[in-house]
């Protein structure tokens, strides 16, 4: 069965510090997808990134970067030079079953990031 | 940019009452989902829907729950007889199909916060 673990429940940083969120997943499938979503205080879930299991290339998008390591089943997320607007709960999620369309997402427990001015 | 919409944003109901939560998925998407998030907890999968039938459902999605696509645009979740423990944020999501039939990103609506008294 698929499982996602986000061991850090809450991280507090001062603005401009970097913050890395850990995500470890378990799956028996060889083809799967990993996602990160942001949940700001307003409550909606905002898509950040989708990565398939065959693409281990790290990705950078502005101040966000992701490090996917299949060998350790991890998909970590780093916010560089954090800002107050980054304060939110961040969820890592996994979709397996061969990566086929329509499969459910299994979410981790989330990491609350608090960025203080 | 197309987005998933949900109504109402908040609903308060008495235990035992029926509620219907409404969603308008992104128009060209083929897969629809309901998830829920009890306050402060992780996001949990309830049900997925494709081609006018349920594709997969979780243990949470018991006989009290049902889904329907009554027309070409709406997707609804009905709870027949609400319980206190049904109080949660309910998210609708939709997704398309990526090339090769693979999982595409699930985009979430803003959620309906349900409070059962």
Contact between A70 and A56 (Cβ < 8 Å): yes
Tokens of B107: 């985009």
Residue pair A66/A76 in contact by the 8 Å Cβ criterion: yes
Asked whether residue B15 carries a pLDDT value surpassing 90, the answer given is yes
Which of B35, B43, B95 has its CB closest to that of A101?
B95
Exposure class string for A59-98: b at 16+ Cβ within 10 A, else e:
eeeeebbbebeeeebbbbbbbeebeeebbbbbbbbbbbbe
Q: What is the pLDDT of residue B99?
A: 67
CB neighbourhood size of B51 (10 A)? 9
Taking the CA of residue B30 and the nearest CA in chain A, the distance in Å comes to 8
The region of weakest confidence among A15-24, B49-58, B91-100 is B91-100
The CA distance from A16 to the nearest CA of chain B, in Å, is 27
> What residues in A contact B8, CB-CB < 8 Å?
none
Q: How many CA atoms lie within 13 A of B16 on its CB side?
A: 0
Q: Mean pLDDT across the stretch A20-43?
A: 94
* Closest chain A residue to the Cα of B58, Cα to Cα: A104
For chain B, give the number of residues: 117
The distance of B47 to chain A (nearest Cα, Å) reads 8
Contacts of A52 in chain B (CB under 8 A): 102
pLDDT at A104: 92
pLDDT at A61 > cutoff 70: yes
Average pLDDT over residues B76-91: 97
Mean pLDDT check: name the lowest of A30-34, B61-65, B101-105: B101-105
Whether residue A101 is predicted with pLDDT greater than 70 in this model: the reply is: no
pLDDT of residue A3: 94
Question: A98 pLDDT band (50/70/90 cuts)?
Answer: low
Question: In degrees rounded to 5, what are phi and psi of residue A85?
Answer: -65, -10
Contact B44, B56 (CB under 8 A): no
């Amino acid at each position: 069965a698929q499982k996602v673990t986000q061991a850090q429940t809450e991280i507090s940083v001062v603005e401009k510090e970097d913050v890395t969120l850990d995500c470890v997943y378990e799956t028996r499938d060889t083809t799967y997808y990993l996602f990160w979503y942001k949940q700001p205080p307003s409550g909606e879930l905002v898509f950040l990134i989708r990565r398939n299991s065959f693409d281990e290339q790290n990705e950078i998008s502005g101040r966000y970067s992701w490090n996917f390591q299949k060998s350790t089943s991890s998909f970590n997320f780093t916010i560089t030079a954090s800002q107050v607007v980054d304060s939110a709960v961040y969820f890592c999620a996994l979709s397996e079953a061969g990566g086929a369309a329509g499969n459910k997402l299994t979410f981790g427990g989330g990491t609350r990031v608090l960025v203080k001015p | 940019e197309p987005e998933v919409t949900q109504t109402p944003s908040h609903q308060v109901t008495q235990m035992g009452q029926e509620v219907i939560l409404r969603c308008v998925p992104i128009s060209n998407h083929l897969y629809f989902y309901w998830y829920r998030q009890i306050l402060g907890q992780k996001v949990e999968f309830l049900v997925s829907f494709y081609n006018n039938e349920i594709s997969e459902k979780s243990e949470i999605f018991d006989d009290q729950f049902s889904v329907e696509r009554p027309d070409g645009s709406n997707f609804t979740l009905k709870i027949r007889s609400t319980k206190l423990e049904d109080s949660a944020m309910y998210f609708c999501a939709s997704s398309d199909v990526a090339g090769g039939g693979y999982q595409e990103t699930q985009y979430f609506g803003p959620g309906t916060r349900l409070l059962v008294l």
